[in-house]
Copies of this chain bind each other. A is one copy, B any other.
Amino acid sequence: MLDDRKSAILRAVVQQYIETAQPVGSSHIVDSTGIGVSSATVRNEMTVLEREGYLAQPHTSAGRVPTEKGYRFFVDELGDPGDLGPAQIRQVSQFFSHATGELEETLRSASGLLARMTATTAVVVGEPTEVHDIRSVQMVELSRTSVLVVAVTSTGTIFKRSIEPEAPLDVEQLARAQASVAEALIGSRTVSLATPTPTGDAVIDQVVEAAVGAVVGAAGDNGHSVYVEGASHIAAAFEASATLREVLQILEQQLTVVSILHDVVDRGLTVAIGSETGVALLAECSVVVAPLNISGQHAGTIGVLGPTRMNYRDTLAAVSAVSSRLSKMLTEG
């Protein structure tokens, strides 16, 4: 679509704009790249690039700035994700050598790692699998009127929710109820389909049903775990406090964050630029994502939210490195 020279010029504009945040003029391009033509030629090419929608001018007599289409071309063209710098390699391997076993804590700290590596805001979403391999169920009396139901899955995730039996249970009743709940849930891979077998005791059956319902409920809505780290980094990217406020608001709405990442992944993208995120308020932001897999199954999404003029090459490298190493670690337990 674009000949070699045009694409070289476009690439140069994007790169310089990412570095300096200033509109870049034709002579800068000549200076910074060994393009071997005069600035007038570059200007001619730039008007074409502008006409075709890759570049824009903030005003006449200013340099050019990439449009979303320009960034898109740039990102599509830089095929390989690039390599990590030595400092980042150290960060990653240090992190994974110290990583502990539990899913939530791992996801949270991985989010922190990514935020530090990329100096942007990192977002990690843990997918709610319908398939929970529940290993253990326990019912604990918290007070006379409430019982906490705790279920532990094979990944170390815990579902807990309290229920309030109509009448207090004695120790033996509680044990029988717990056994019945455990029988219903353990091994039933699709938790929501679990059905307890009646014990014949109406009081206990009622409690058992409530407890199973509690676990199913907790497994259902506890589903998407969202971890946002490094929100302060995005503050450095924007001057206007109004823009910043909007972005922070988005980050606070976990549902929105989840749906943005899902949308992007569903469309098969790795990078969503500006309006491609599907959120009008993120017009000046881009999202870079990678899937997390556990044993080949989609288990979540890891990504980064930064300004459209972020360093895509390095960010892509960091996101893909962390996602693959994290997937590997989670798969191996």
Name A's B-contacting residues (CB within 8 A). 100-102, 135-136, 138, 140-143, 145-146, 148, 150, 152, 154-156, 158, 160-162, 229-232, 235-236, 238-241, 244-245, 248-249, 251-252, 333
Contacts and interface: CB of A to CB of B under 8 A. Distances in A.
A245 B162 CA distance: 39
Contact of A236 (B135, B230, B241): B241
Given A231-B231, A231-B252, A156 B136 contact: no
A241 B236 CA distance: 7
A101 B238 CA distance: 41
Contact of A241 (B100, B235, B249): B235
B150 A140 contact: no
Contact of A142 (B101, B230, B236): B101
A235 B230 contact: no
Given A136-B140, A138-B152, A101 B162 contact: yes
A156 B160 contact: yes
Contact of A235 (B138, B158, B162, B245): B245
Nearest to A160: B158
A233 to B, nearest CB: 8
Given A136-B138, A148-B156, A245 B236 contact: yes
A140 B146 contact: no
A6 B245 CA distance: 38
A161, A229, A232 interface centre (most CB from chain B within 10 Å): A232
A181 to B, nearest CB: 14
B148 A142 contact: no
A100 B162 contact: yes
Contacts of A150: 136, 138, 150, 152, 158
A158 B158 CA distance: 9
Contacts of A146: 101, 333
Nearest to A143: B333
Given A142-B156, A231-B252, A235-B244, 6 more contacts: A138-B150, A143-B154, A146-B333, A152-B160, A230-B252, A236-B241
Given A101-B146, A152-B150, A158-B160, A238 B241 contact: yes
Contacts of A238: 241
A252 B236 contact: no
B102 A162 contact: yes
A143 B133 CA distance: 12
Contacts of A236: 241, 245
A259 to B, nearest CB: 18
Closest 7 CB pairs of A and B: A232-B248, A235-B245, A101-B162, A232-B249, A136-B140, A143-B333, A140-B152
Given A231-B252, A232-B249, A333 B241 contact: no
A138, A143, A148, A251 interface centre (most CB from chain B within 10 Å): A148
Nearest to A247: B232
A172 B209 CA distance: 29
A245 B333 CA distance: 37
A320 to B, nearest CB: 25
18 contacts: A101-B146, A102-B160, A102-B161, A102-B162, A142-B155, A142-B333, A143-B154, A156-B160, A156-B162, A158-B158, A229-B252, A231-B231, A231-B252, A232-B248, A232-B252, A235-B244, A236-B245, A244-B244
